[in-house]
Amino acid sequence: MKYGKKIVALAGGVGGAKLADGLAQCLEPDELAIIVNTGDDLEHLGLSISPDLDTVCYTLAELANPDSGWGRDQESWRTLEEIKKLQGPDWFAIGDLDLATHLERTRRLREGQTLSEITAHFCRRWGIHVPIFPMSDTPVRTYVHCQDGRCLAFQEYFVKYHFEPQIRSIEFENMKNAVVPEKALTALKNADFVLFCPSNPFVSIDPIIQIEAVGSIIAQKKVIAVSPLIGGEALKGPAAKMFHELGMKPGSSAVADHYRAILDLFVLDHKDEAQIALIEGWGIICKALDIFMPDRPARKRLAGQILKILDEQT
Amino acid sequence: MKYGKKIVALAGGVGGAKLADGLAQCLEPDELAIIVNTGDDLEHLGLSISPDLDTVCYTLAELANPDSGWGRDQESWRTLEEIKKLQGPDWFAIGDLDLATHLERTRRLREGQTLSEITAHFCRRWGIHVPIFPMSDTPVRTYVHCQDGRCLAFQEYFVKYHFEPQIRSIEFENMKNAVVPEKALTALKNADFVLFCPSNPFVSIDPIIQIEAVGSIIAQKKVIAVSPLIGGEALKGPAAKMFHELGMKPGSSAVADHYRAILDLFVLDHKDEAQIALIEGWGIICKALDIFMPDRPARKRLAGQILKILDEQT
Task: Using CA coordinates, name the residue in chain A closest to B80.
Answer: A100
- On chain B, the residues whose CB falls within 8 A of the CB of A97 are 78-79, 82
Amino acid at A284: I
Strand, helix or coil at A266? strand
Q: Are the beta carbons of A79 and B103 separated by less than 8 Å?
A: yes
Euclidean distance between CA atoms B176 and B211, whole angstroms = 7
Cα A244 to Cα A169, A196, A250, B298: the distances in Å are: 12, 21, 6, 69
pLDDT band of residue A235 (cuts 50, 70, 90) is: confident
The DSSP code for A176 is G
pLDDT score of A314 more than 80 = no
- On chain B, the residues whose CB falls within 8 A of the CB of A101 are 82, 86
* B→A interface, C-beta within 8 Å: 45-47, 76, 78-83, 85-89, 96-97, 99-101, 103-104, 106-107, 110, 121-122, 125
pLDDT score of B34 more than 90 = yes
CATH C-level class of B7-43+129-146+172-313? alpha beta
What are the strands of the beta sheet with A151-153, ordered from one edge?
A151-153, A141-146, A167-173
Q: Are the beta carbons of A85 and B100 separated by less than 8 Å?
A: yes
Cβ pairs A/B, distance under 8 A = 95
For range A186-210, the mean pLDDT: 98
For range A283-290, the mean pLDDT: 98
For range A155-180, the mean pLDDT: 96
pLDDT band of residue B309 (cuts 50, 70, 90) is: very high
Decide: A303 and A23 in contact? Cβ < 8 Å: yes
Euclidean distance between CA atoms B143 and B147, whole angstroms = 13
Chain A: closest CA distance from residue B14 (Å)? 22
pLDDT in tens, A135-147: 999 999 999 999 9
pLDDT score of B35 more than 90 = yes
For range A57-80, the mean pLDDT: 96
Average pLDDT of every residue of chain A = 97
* Res B152: pLDDT: 96
Q: Are the beta carbons of A83 and B104 separated by less than 8 Å?
A: yes
* Res B265: pLDDT: 98
pLDDT score of B198 more than 90 = yes
pLDDT score of B314 more than 90 = no
* Res A127: pLDDT: 98
pLDDT score of A1 more than 80 = no
Across the interface, of A46, A85, A103, the residue whose CB is closest to B125 is: A85
pLDDT score of B153 more than 80 = yes
- Best of A44, A76, A86 to substitute, by most chain B Cβ atoms within 10 angstroms, is A86
* Res B91: pLDDT: 95
* Res A236: pLDDT: 84
Task: Using CA coordinates, name the residue in chain B closest to A119.
Answer: B86
**Domain-wise residue ranges, chain A:** 7-146+172-313
Q: What is the pTM of this model?
A: 0.95
* Res B236: pLDDT: 84
For range B241-256, the mean pLDDT: 95
Q: Are the beta carbons of A104 and B86 separated by less than 8 Å?
A: yes
For range A115-124, the mean pLDDT: 98
pLDDT band of residue B235 (cuts 50, 70, 90) is: confident
Q: Which three-class secondary structure string do you get for chain B?
A: CCCCCCEEEEECCHHHHHHHHHHHHHCCHHHEEEEECCCCCEEECCEEECHHHHHHHHHHCCCECCCCCCCECCCCCHHHHHHHHCCCCCCCCCCHHHHHHHHHHHHHHHHCCCHHHHHHHHHHHCCCCCCEEECCCCCCEEEEEECCCCEEEHHHHHHHCCCCCCEEEEEEECHHHCCCCHHHHHHHHHCCEEEECCCCHHHHHHHHHCCHHHHHHHCCCEEEEECCEECCEECCCCHHHHHHHCCCCCCHHHHHHHHHHHCCEEEEEHHHHHHHHHHHCCCCEEEEECCCCCCHHHHHHHHHHHHHHHHHHC
Chain B: closest CA distance from residue A64 (Å)? 14
For range A24-49, the mean pLDDT: 97
* Res A313: pLDDT: 84
Q: What is the ipTM of this complex?
A: 0.93
CATH C-level class of A7-146+172-313? alpha beta
